[in-house]
Amino acid sequence: MTSARTGGDQCPCGRPLVQRPGELEPTCAECRSKPDYCSCEPGGPTTALPALRKVVLTPASAIEPLPVLWGWEDRLPAGHLSLIPGREGIGKSLLLVWMIAQITRGTLPGVYEGAPRPVFYAATEDSWQHTIVPRLIAAGADLDLVYRIEVEQIETASRLELTMPRDCDLVAAEIKRMEVALLALDPLMSVIDRNVDTYNDRAMRTVLEPLGRLADDTGCMVVGLAHFNKSATDDPLTLVTGSRAFTAFVRAVVAVARDPESEDGGCVVSQVKNNLGRLDLPNLTYVVQSAVIETREGDARVGRLHFTGESERSVRDILAESGGTLADRTEKAECVSWLREYLGAGPQRTKDVLAEASNAHGFSQRTVERARKQLKIRAEQLPTGQNGRSEWWLALPEDAGRHAQA
């Protein structure tokens, strides 16, 4: 057995140096517990010591290539950190709850389809009893597979907030033990250590990189919600509150926005970043429906997300219009006024409306469409009386169904 070797030199603190087998640098017994710093020199300043580190080189040939596994097919990858940003009050949490329910039932299109899996849910902004559990019930989740995740101080048995990156290793161990498919963070900002400056890129990477390693090591989806700031831009990534590191580090971002031109008050879901797959995915649409959940103390009313189809309009389109220039907003307002007056005399053929808008007033077809939706004007295909042919007509809501006979 090889014993420790005592060197003739002294540690900066004045104590004898000792080098143990396998160590690159000798240290004194006192400084052994402080491999980076020695502060034990009587009356002297803190002295930096060489860190006990070494370079590790791995040839690429020794690393096995693997395909990307998608937790939500083509949109959110398993084994990576993803983000769902949007403004407040549009149902981002309900979208996350929908995803949780699908995973616990094994119905989410992707790698977990057909195999129900557990989910860890860190949610701090809503009450579990009054809001979150009723929402999960309304979404059809298997409650036995959804776990509220907290941290307990062993000495005092007191409950603490989940804090990243401090608790990454603890959480990773439980994810592996229970084969968890999704770590849902609602919002992501709530689990970040309070001492971390969330507007500093370098500081934020000390949180995001351990979360990324957690996802990679466990194969778990890590999905966090984020809020949009008040900036006037059509770039959803720029709108995410906090450091740019949030959107730079995550591999996929699915943004959400309410469509003011939607006739049902619905929202649009768009893929705005996808480092591992396609960006040309359909824009999905959803509405929030009211649901009633029976409890022992009476009915609980909550929202439930219901997908309604696809939209040609993206989140970027919606942001561009809501934060557009004064000239853009003025043009739309003028078109609304003109269209109301033009149709005031009665229904008109759509082709005639578009021709008049373009030739006489310079309004684009897109501007006319935006004005038409604001006025809640529906296009109707009606007979013209000529050989049984039909044409598209536009009419104000009160005149719908009435058209001129040719």
In tens digits, the chain (406 residues) has pLDDT values of 444 444 456 665 566 666 555 555 555 655 554 444 444 444 444 445 556 889 999 999 999 999 999 999 999 999 999 999 999 989 999 999 999 999 999 999 999 999 999 999 999 889 999 999 999 999 999 999 999 999 998 888 888 889 999 999 999 999 999 999 999 999 999 999 999 999 999 999 999 999 999 999 999 999 999 999 988 788 999 999 999 999 999 999 999 999 987 888 899 999 999 999 999 999 999 999 999 999 999 999 999 999 999 998 999 988 987 765 556 667 877 888 899 888 888 888 899 999 999 888 888 888 888 788 878 888 888 776 566 677 888 988 876 655 544 3
Question: Are 221 and 367 found together in one domain?
Answer: no
Q: Which helix (H) or strand (E) holds 182?
A: strand 182-186
60 forms beta bridges with none
**Is 32 inside a domain boundary?**
yes
Last residue of a domain, one of 268, 287, 318: 318
Indicate if 197 and 301 belong to the same structural domain: yes
Q: How far is CA 364 from the centre of its chain?
A: 34
Coarse DSSP helix, strand, coil percentages of the chain, rounded to the nearest 5 percent: 30, 25, 40
pLDDT of residue 268: 97
| 38 and 77 co-located in one domain | no
Contacts of 338 (CB under 8 A, 6+ apart): 357, 361, 363, 371
Determine the structural domain holding residue 372 and report its residue range: 325-399
If asked whether residues 92 and 160 sit together in one domain, one would say yes
293-299-301-305 Cα dihedral, nearest 10 degrees: 10
In a domain, 370, yes or no: yes
- 366 & 283 share domain: no
Buried b (16+ CB within 10 A) or exposed e, 18-36: beeeeeeebbbeebeeeee
The answer to the question of residue 65 being in a domain is: no
Asked whether residue 62 is domain-assigned, the answer is no
Does residue 361 sit within a domain?
yes
Query: Are 282 and 376 found together in one domain?
Result: no
- The three-state DSSP-derived secondary structure of 66-83 is CCCCEEECCCEECCCEEE
Q: Which of 131, 188, 193 is nearest to 161 (CA)?
A: 193
> Could you give the number of structural domains in the chain?
3
Residue with tokens 């466990």: 218
Question: What Cα–Cα distance (Å) separates residue 96 from each residue in 141, 266, 384?
Answer: 12, 17, 49
- Domain end position, chosen among 261, 287, 318: 318
- In whole angstroms, what is the distance from residue 285 CA to residue 406 CA? 39
Q: Is residue 54 part of a domain?
A: no
Task: Please check whether residues 104 and 238 belong to one and the same domain.
Answer: yes
| CATH number (domain holding residue 330) | 1.10.10
Buried b (16+ CB within 10 A) or exposed e, 371-401: bbbbbebeebebeeeeeeeebebbbbeebbe
> Please, which residues bridge with residue 6 across strands?
18
In a domain, residue 206? The reply is: yes
191 and 303 share a domain? yes
Q: How far is CA 12 from CA 31, 34, 48, 49, 240, in A?
A: 10, 13, 9, 8, 48
CATH number of the domain encompassing residue 105: 3.40.50.300
Minimal CA–CA distance to 121: which of 134, 136, 105? 136
Looking at the structure, do residues 171 and 139 belong to the same domain, yes or no? Answer: yes
In a domain, residue 405? The reply is no
* Sequence-separated (6 or more) residues with CB below 8 Å from residue 83: 188, 223, 224, 225, 226, 240, 246, 247, 250, 252, 253, 254
For 288, the token pair is: 């929030």
Q: 170 and 268 share a domain?
A: yes
296/349 Cα distance (integer angstroms): 58
Q: Provide the 3-class DSSP secondary structure of residue 47.
A: strand
| 293 close to 283: Cβ distance less than 8 angstroms | no
State whether 269 and 197 are in the same domain. yes
Distance CA 178, CA 188 (A): 22
My answer on whether 371 and 301 are in the same domain is: no
Q: Which of 262, 297, 318 is the last residue of a domain?
A: 318
Q: Could you tell me which residues are beta bridge partners of residue 121? A: 148, 184
